[in-house]
Amino acid sequence: MCLLFIPGLGSADDEITGLPDRSGDNFTDIKPDSIIVMMNPDTPVKLMSGSYAVKDGNKINESVKAGQNSENLIREENIIRDYSDAGIPGLKVVKIPDNSSLDETLEVYSNNPEVLYAEPNYIYYAHDIPDDPDFGQLWGLQNDGQYVYGASGTPGADIDALNAWNITTGSDEVVIAVIDTGVLLTHPDLKDNIWENPGEVIDGIDNDNNGYIDDIHGWDFYSDDNDPTDLNGHGSHCAGIIAGVGNNSIGITGVMWDAKIMPLRFLGADGSGSTADAIDAIIYARNNGADIISNSWGGGGYSVALEDAIRDFAGPAICSAGNKGYNTDVIPSYPGSYSLDNIITVAATDSSDLRASFSNYGAKSVDVGAPGVNIYSTVTGNSYTYKRGTSMSGPYVSGLAGLILSLNSTLSATEVKKLIIDNVDPLASLSSTTVSGGRINAFKTLSAVPVPEKLPKAGFTADVTLGENPLSVSFTDLSTGDPDGWLWDFGDNTTSDERDPVKVFNKTGVYSVSLTVMNSAGTDNITKTDYINVTGKNAEIPYLKMPAGEIEPAGSGIFTVPAGNITDAVSLSFEIVYDSSVISVNNITLNTTVSDADLTVNITEGKAVAWFKSATPFTSGNETELFCFNISAAGEYGSNTTLQCLNATYTDNSFSTHNITSADGIISIIVKGDFNNNGVVDIGDVSKVAYMVAGKIPEDMTADFNGDGRVDIGDASKIAWYFVGKTAEL
């Protein structure tokens, strides 16, 4: 198996004495948690404990940075792998300590005299070679010097596609308009990458209102119909170079394995077409979502209208340089010679990295070179053939532009152009005949693409979703897009910001769980409805809350008793103890939520005992109003008593008995309308209400005797009548 390094970014700051230079193009991916160390085989002495002793520990101590010590370097738990038993004494894979960085650890080991060398634990990758059987014919993608169509090449005279494909093989979200003789829509190496208009169906109607009826796969501007099928072979050949389906065990592969080709036919079967039809095709591409237009044609004169149409297309416009062998700085060839920021004009090179003799060139007007001689690709008749020309070179660049946009769709046409030009392989044959002086290199170019952080996509799983209470659930984040923040909602008013939390559900029920993930690009959320099912009895403690309230002397009131966490109760009993000189408990009644239960109450002086049996097991949720007390006042103004609940228990339907906790309540005796708190309603209270009505003092809504939501003259009159004995109650 062939292997390669995948480059990353480095700087002079990364250089460490005695270490490989990681500042250039060969900087590779590195495991962040370990390094490889070759210690002097004569230095470590393996002890029975499995740790290591060092001949001169002081030397290591002197080289260790602050915050580390020699034991951190040589303790057994830091040694991930020891190759001594494999016949390489002294060679070890060592864990990077938690309080150290990769470079710090490398420096510590490298500066130690007992260490022969220390180096990063590099990551390697297999070449991503497609299984397309004719891949060996595609020297432009991989050139091993093989014979292709009777000619041998120079190894490495290619666009370095194999390395590039380890970065990306494309995306079906990138749409490339092939403006040409059409495309064979049914070719087995093309059909899966043909664009389909998402707003159109074949029904004789212009569904998407773009001016074209049933344009499901583009448009034929030459014949003005909805069938852009290739009748020449040229457009299909270009399409195959750009995005012949890769790794499908058929024929060839394109520069992009995955993309969407938008077929726009404006050239007839003889390979010719008009400026007007070309303009229509470019406008269609612009209006229907194409990211790139590929133009392997030319020869007409300068056209302002065509130039404007290309200028108005926002994405890269790839143009072949032409096949006359002309210097287009002197003899322009359009559209490639338009001086537009979004045009990339392409010359042809052969398998020995020479500019093809037929290729136009221009130090100012031709940007780059690309393979264009003996290029094998798809044609009509579901077949393949070799072609040559800058018409073949342009699609290589179209494919490369598509790979760039599959990594970063936010890049402008000028940014894509600069990336391609700045990362060519310099060639003597192109040094003075193109802007860049070189042939495109896909790997170098993709390695230089600034990749934005992707919007995260939320996903998760749980190790268990059904079980008895209490249920411990380990959640695992499966989100993609490198989130750096997590917010879980477990459906029971609890949350977590851990990545992989462990949650204990201690109450029976069915819970919906949601996860929101975030990074600098944005957020995403997923909710799994009714995801966790907790069965069995509630682990929360059942309870009763005794009421608190006020009663007027000689008055009475109904007071409710909230209950909670009582599960499947078939019987329940409790006692209430109170001061009978202050209040009397007249009765205890069940609330309507347990209407099918039989309640028995035994009330004696200062004590009430109640119990019930339910035909249907009763479950009390949080704060369910279970009982009602009918209480009368018996004492004097200002007195109060505690309602104390004792011996509260319930039995569930499995005949298990559970204790019920209780919270005491206090019943107080008050006098309604006694605003000055002297135990009677007198002229002072009448005056206070009058002052409230006049706005002299703040309103006290207990003075709203007529219940109209405000303290007004009616309330003042009522308390005055009460004071003089004209009414019996307030």
Q: What is the mean pLDDT of residues 156-168?
A: 96
**Is position 718 within any domain?**
yes
Q: Which of 182-196, 537-551, 612-626 has the highest mean pLDDT?
A: 182-196
Q: Does the pLDDT value for residue 3 go beyond 60?
A: no
Do 84 and 226 have their domain in common?
A: no
What are the pLDDT digits (tens) for 502-521? 999 988 889 999 999 999 88
Domain that holds residue 23: 3-126
Are the C-beta atoms of 427 and 368 separated by less than 8 Å?
A: no
Q: What is the mean pLDDT of residues 232-246?
A: 97
**Is position 452 within any domain?**
no
Total number of residues shown for the chain: 730
pLDDT of residue 74: 52
pLDDT of residue 507: 83
pLDDT of residue 240: 98
Q: Does the pLDDT value for residue 59 go beyond 70?
A: no
Q: Does the pLDDT value for residue 341 go beyond 70?
A: yes
**Is position 678 within any domain?**
no
Do 569 and 604 have their domain in common?
A: yes
Residue where a domain stops, chosen among 627, 646, 669 = 669
Do 416 and 508 have their domain in common?
A: no
pLDDT of residue 56: 35
Query: Which range has the worst mean pLDDT, 440-444, 550-554, 609-613, 638-642?
Result: 550-554
Tell me how crowded residue 70 is: count the other CB atoms within 10 A of its CB.
Answer: 18
> Half-sphere exposure (CA, 13 Å, Cβ side) for 84?
13
Are the C-beta atoms of 138 and 395 separated by less than 8 Å?
A: no
**Is position 730 within any domain?**
no
Are the C-beta atoms of 473 and 503 separated by less than 8 Å?
A: yes
pLDDT of residue 455: 85
Sign of the dihedral defined by the CA atoms of residues 445, 450, 456, 459, in that order: positive
Rounded CA separation 567/534 (Å): 13
Q: Do the strands 607-620 and 566-577 form a parallel or antiparallel pair, or are they unpaired? A: antiparallel
* Residue 53 pLDDT class (50, 70, 90 cuts): very low
**Is position 453 within any domain?**
no
Q: Do the strands 343-349 and 317-320 form a parallel or antiparallel pair, or are they unpaired? A: parallel
3-state class of 129 per DSSP?
Answer: coil
Q: Does the pLDDT value for residue 642 go beyond 60?
A: yes
CA distances from 392 to 153, 254, 356, 357, 369 (A): 17, 12, 12, 15, 11
> What residues act catalytically?
180, 234, 391
pLDDT of residue 18: 28
Do 687 and 663 have their domain in common?
A: no
Q: Does the pLDDT value for residue 30 go beyond 80?
A: no
Q: Which of 28-42, 347-361, 566-580, 682-696 has the highest mean pLDDT?
A: 347-361
pLDDT of residue 139: 98
* Residue 532 pLDDT class (50, 70, 90 cuts): very high
Q: Does the pLDDT value for residue 322 go beyond 90?
A: yes
Are the C-beta atoms of 563 and 612 separated by less than 8 Å?
A: no
Q: What is the mean pLDDT of residues 109-132?
A: 77
Do 555 and 524 have their domain in common?
A: no
**Is position 674 within any domain?**
no
Do 646 and 700 have their domain in common?
A: no
pLDDT of residue 726: 77
Average pLDDT, the chain: 86
Q: What is the mean pLDDT of residues 314-343?
A: 96
Give bridge partners of residue 511 from the DSSP assignment: 532
* pTM listed for this prediction: 0.57
pLDDT of residue 128: 55
Do 700 and 598 have their domain in common?
A: no
What are the pLDDT digits (tens) for 169-187? 999 999 999 999 999 999 9
| DSSP annotation of 670 | -
Do 141 and 120 have their domain in common?
A: no
Do 376 and 240 have their domain in common?
A: yes
**Is position 212 within any domain?**
yes
pLDDT of residue 29: 66
Q: Does the pLDDT value for residue 527 go beyond 70?
A: yes
Residue where a domain stops, chosen among 422, 447, 472 = 447
Do 644 and 719 have their domain in common?
A: no
pLDDT of residue 367: 98
pLDDT of residue 61: 36
Tell me how crowded residue 287 is: count the other CB atoms within 10 A of its CB.
Answer: 12
Do 572 and 690 have their domain in common?
A: no
Are the C-beta atoms of 616 and 593 separated by less than 8 Å?
A: no
* Residue 537 pLDDT class (50, 70, 90 cuts): low
Tell me how crowded residue 56 is: count the other CB atoms within 10 A of its CB.
Answer: 12
* Residue 21 pLDDT class (50, 70, 90 cuts): very low
Tell me how crowded residue 6 is: count the other CB atoms within 10 A of its CB.
Answer: 16
pLDDT of residue 47: 27
Tell me how crowded residue 697 is: count the other CB atoms within 10 A of its CB.
Answer: 14
Q: Does the pLDDT value for residue 16 go beyond 50?
A: no
pLDDT of residue 133: 94
Do 280 and 413 have their domain in common?
A: yes
What are the pLDDT digits (tens) for 382-417? 999 999 999 999 999 999 999 999 999 999 999 999
- CATH number of the structural domain spanning residue 221: 3.40.50.200
**Is position 251 within any domain?**
yes
Q: How many domains is the chain built from? A: 5
Q: What is the mean pLDDT of residues 296-310?
A: 90
